[in-house]
């Protein structure tokens, strides 16, 4: 088992209660009542589960050294006691994105969309973890599973962050996105 | 099934005959007599097989636009009738490599090691395909499965290419590598 593998199960059971569910673009997935995340595989869909989405954490794909120094100095880990609120946002980018070369994607991602610069403004309030699923052996419905948590009072700030990213050139390449907000039960 | 998934099976059966086998660095794998490559998964190890290694083709990680233009104008696909000789070279890079940021790895890969510039000199003679396996859900023994084919008369040129790459700064990060040469039976 890859230790960087995480499985998100959505259904009737789990420590997180879904409080908001929005199909932003593309094909929906069933709306769950509860969520759980397992560090590892799930051999079969548990009873009461509607779906399981898996992804692996991996190396940086766009972040550069100077940005990492800033990120490391400001960011907080997932699971802080005060971080009772969160989001799971699965995302898929289209074929045009994936056909672009590394510097073309970097130019869109940062030079023009300022993905990291925007995100830095929300640290340490918003904690995050990115999981990749485009290169798993099965045919996965999304390319990325993005996970966030924050304190209740930072929920509005998280909305601002998501709105800012969705307005960027990078987001023109997103062809499937579901936005699931949860609170720790 | 991910259509970009390929499984390489090494053992007693397959259309490719292994003619040379070298453990370059790190833990060995059993030396096979034959190889086969399947576009898809292999549910169980076939009879007479010693191992199966799987990987997915994916987006460019370092190649930039200007380089892609050059590569596209010069490269040939795998499977040309004259390309009766080839190599399967599984490679793993160490934790230090994967902890580096994108621009640090790019600087090593191209600015200092000239990976693409070196490779371009051997096109169209050498055809290649890169498969990623570090981000599969299982724990894979390698990070990359590199596949090449070429005409018999280009075997020496392929040796030169491999020797040149192994002398680079990029290759200081390689901690496991097996070099399997084959001919189409």
Residue B185's pLDDT is what? 81
ipTM: 0.95
- Which long-range CB contacts under 8 A does B27-32 form with residues at least 24 apart? B27/B141, B27/B176, B28/B178, B29/B90, B29/B141, B29/B178, B32/B180
How many angstroms separate the CA atoms of B184 and B36, rounded?
Answer: 10
Residue A118's pLDDT is what? 98
- Please, what are the domains in chain B? 57-184 (3.30.70.3420)
Contacting residues of A for B71, CB less than 8 Å apart: none
Contacting residues of B for A132, CB less than 8 Å apart: 135
DSSP character string of B56-117:
E----SS--HHHHHHHHHH---TT-TT--EEEEEEEEE-HHHHHS-HHHHHIIIIIIT-HHH
Which among A101, A135, A139 is the nearest to B64, CB-wise? A101
Q: Encode chain B (185 residues) as per-residue pLDDT tens digits.
A: 999 999 999 999 999 999 999 999 999 999 999 999 999 999 899 999 999 999 999 999 999 999 999 999 999 999 999 999 999 999 999 999 999 999 999 999 999 999 999 999 999 999 999 999 999 999 999 999 999 999 999 999 999 999 999 999 999 999 999 999 999 98
* Digit-coded pLDDT (tens) for B138-173: 999 999 999 999 999 999 999 999 999 999 999 999
Residue B129's pLDDT is what? 98
How many angstroms separate the CA atoms of A19 and A158, rounded?
Answer: 15
H-helix or E-strand spanning residue B155 = helix B155-166
Please answer whether residues B16 and B9 qualify as being in contact, where contact means their C-beta atoms are separated by less than 8 angstroms: no
Which among A41, A102, A135 is the nearest to B64, CB-wise? A102
Phi first, then psi: give them for residue A156, nearest 5 degrees: -65, -40
Please answer whether residues A125 and A154 qualify as being in contact, where contact means their C-beta atoms are separated by less than 8 angstroms: yes
Q: Are the beta carbons of B1 and A138 separated by less than 8 Å? A: yes
Chain centroid to CA B24: how far?
Answer: 14
Chain B interface disruption, residue of A43, A56, A67, A103, most B CBs within 10 A: A103
Q: Are the beta carbons of B61 and A63 separated by less than 8 Å? A: no
Which among B2, B59, B102 is the nearest to A60, CB-wise? B102
């Amino acid at each position: 088992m890859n230790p960087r593998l995480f499985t998100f199960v959505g259904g009737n059971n789990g420590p997180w209660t879904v409080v908001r569910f929005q199909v932003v673009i593309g094909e929906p997935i069933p709306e769950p009542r509860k969520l759980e995340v397992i560090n590892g595989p799930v051999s079969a869909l548990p009873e009461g589960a509607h779906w399981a989405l898996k992804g692996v954490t991996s190396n940086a794909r766009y972040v550069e050294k100077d940005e990492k120094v800033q990120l490391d100095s400001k960011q907080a880990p997932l699971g802080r006691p005060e971080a009772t609120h969160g989001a799971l946002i699965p995302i898929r980018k289209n074929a045009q994105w994936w056909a672009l070369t590394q510097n073309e994607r970097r130019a869109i991602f940062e030079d023009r969309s300022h993905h990291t610069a925007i995100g830095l403004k929300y640290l340490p309030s918003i904690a995050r973890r990115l999981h990749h699923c485009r290169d798993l052996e099965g045919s996965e419905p999304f390319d990325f599973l993005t996970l966030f948590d924050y304190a209740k009072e930072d929920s509005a700030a998280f909305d601002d962050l998501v709105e800012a990213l969705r307005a960027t050139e990078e987001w023109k390449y997103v062809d499937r996105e579901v936005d699931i907000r949860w609170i720790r039960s």
